[in-house]
Chain A
Amino acid sequence: MYSFLIILFGSIFIRKRFDFAVKHPQLDGFLKFSWVLALLALLSKSSIQNYTGWSINPVWYLLLAFVFYCYWEVSEKQKDDTIIWSALAFMIVSVISEASEVYAPAFYEEYANYMNFASTGSFISVIAFGIGVSKQQKALKEEQEKNELTTRRKDELEVLVQQRTSEILEQKEELQHTLNELKATQAQLIQSEKLASLGELTAGIAHEIQNPLNFVNNFSELTKELAHELEEESAKKENRDIDLEKELIHDIMENLSKINHHGNRASSIVKNMLEHSRTSTGTVEKVHINKLCDEYLRLSYHGLRAKDKSFNSDFKMVLDPNVGTIEVVPQDFGRVLLNILNNAFYAVKAKLESKKEGFKPMVTISTELLKEENQIKISIKDNGNGVTEENKTKIFQPFFTTKPAGEGTGLGLSLSHDIIAAHGGEIRVVSKINEGSEFIIILPNKLEVLIHN
């Protein structure tokens, strides 16, 4: 009597539990069929028995066996055995009870109560186990779902992390690109700054080359005259003026060394100019600091003069003869001197233009050997308007300039600062408003480590 219920609920349970429609479509058909059959058989049980006199119990048992077969097939066999065994027990009890009812009515009569009791008990146990398993499955399913959710979240997170990582990588690439661009621009700026200061130099260079060349021309011409005079005098047979001859020889010798000196002066200017425009090779050379100061002071002065004829300034050199040669990168170091000197002349020019009463522009460059510290001090001083306290802190920053737009790149002092630092030295400014500024460069007397830009 209970077996039809087991078939009804069991087939529903199994189909749902194991997702038969998708996973086992061929068995699913049979299961559905057995479910319908069980329902029909239940509804028509009494009429079939009445008309045909057959017991339909065997059909139920077959269906029941089929349902359990399905279950056995698809379940993971050992996991839920209890339900199988309890169902089997129910089947055996039912078969015995039915069989004895038909074939041994006397025996059945006697033990009907027990049999009913056993049948009901085993039915209940099947139901109970079914509910237990179902609950267990439900819990399992929940846990699985939970796991799936966690996995899904993990996957989502992983995707997110990957996304972020690639975003960051992209940003890094972009930054690298920008950095490269900045570096290229910086190199360009340095070059253009160099060329700008060279442009300011050209006129000064022309003057500074023309002047010694004039001397070379004048003295060589003069020396030729003196030589002729000497030749004439020495050709005299009588009354040779030995004193005059001596004087002439002395002058000739002196003039030749003057020609040599001025020739060197001109070629040194050309050499410096070329070095100035050349990309720094970063190689160190022994440089006579005083000579370099002298040259660049003149270059700067004449450069500014050539640009603005109405401007003039006095300049002074106080060069310590104890300062000898030190190893520097000449192009770089020359640029520092030129930058600061140009600034100094620019400052006195600005003050001159503001028409301060009785103002006499003066730029002084001085060198000094600091024996105790074994350092060389180079000072470039002007009596211009000075630097404000606020600007003093910014003066060595790149792109900072007080010049009108287009006149200064704002890189001169910042580059100078870097170059001096690379030479292991330091540069600082001392300034008083309305009184002037002094840029002081301190260099180790013997330079060792050099970096170039």
Chain B
Amino acid sequence: MKILVVDDELDVKDLFLQKFRKEIKNGEIIFAFAHSGEDALIYLQEHESEAVLILSDINMPGMTGIELLRQIRTNYKKPPPTVMMITAYGDDENKQQAKEYGADDFLTKPVNFADLKTKLFAGH
């Protein structure tokens, strides 16, 4: 499984790499990281043939997660990638909007990794 994590906070990368140490070692999951919505779109363009699960923060400078989601939903229809949004606690407005744009699932910050793992492996 390939997961693209989109977050403007750099330390998110270390967090995921360490949390999924075993899964990475086993080759169960491959991670890619983008620090902005724009970077994420570039990555998707370059790796168009791959099936990717996208895990995106919403609150990012420049292109927000919502805008990224909107663009993914318009440009990548076959097959539509799974997009999970990470929302800040209490940010119902963005959550509602992400739902409307077709987000598959939601995680609330701080990310509960046990939860995330269950979700990831349930779907695949």
Query: Interface of A with B (CB < 8 Å)?
Result: 207, 210-211, 213-215, 217-219, 222, 226, 251, 254-255, 258, 262, 301-302, 305, 309, 312-315, 360
Contacts and interface: CB of A to CB of B under 8 A. Distances in A.
B15 A314 contact: no
B16 to A, nearest CB: 10
Nearest to A298: B61
A324 to B, nearest CB: 23
A365 B19 CA distance: 34
A214 B110 contact: yes
Nearest to A305: B59
B59 A222 contact: no
Contacts of B59: 207, 302, 305
B4 interface: no
A416 B59 CA distance: 29
A210 B14 contact: no
A309 B94 contact: yes
6 contacts: A210-B109, A211-B109, A218-B110, A254-B14, A313-B61, A314-B61
Given A210-B88, A210-B89, A309-B94, A218 B15 contact: yes
Interface of B: 9, 11, 14-15, 18-19, 59, 61-64, 67, 88-89, 93-94, 97, 109-111, 113
B120 to A, nearest CB: 17
Given A251-B18, A255-B18, A217 B61 contact: no
Contacts, number: 51
For B59, B64, B93, B113, the residue with the greatest tally of chain A CB atoms inside 10 Å of its CB is: B59
A202 B110 CA distance: 20
B62 to A, nearest CB: 3
A301 B61 CA distance: 8
B15 A219 contact: yes
A217 B110 CA distance: 8
For A213, A218, A219, the residue with the greatest tally of chain B CB atoms inside 10 Å of its CB is: A218
A4 B61 CA distance: 127
Nearest to A217: B110
Contacts of B89: 210
A334 B78 CA distance: 50
B61 A222 contact: no
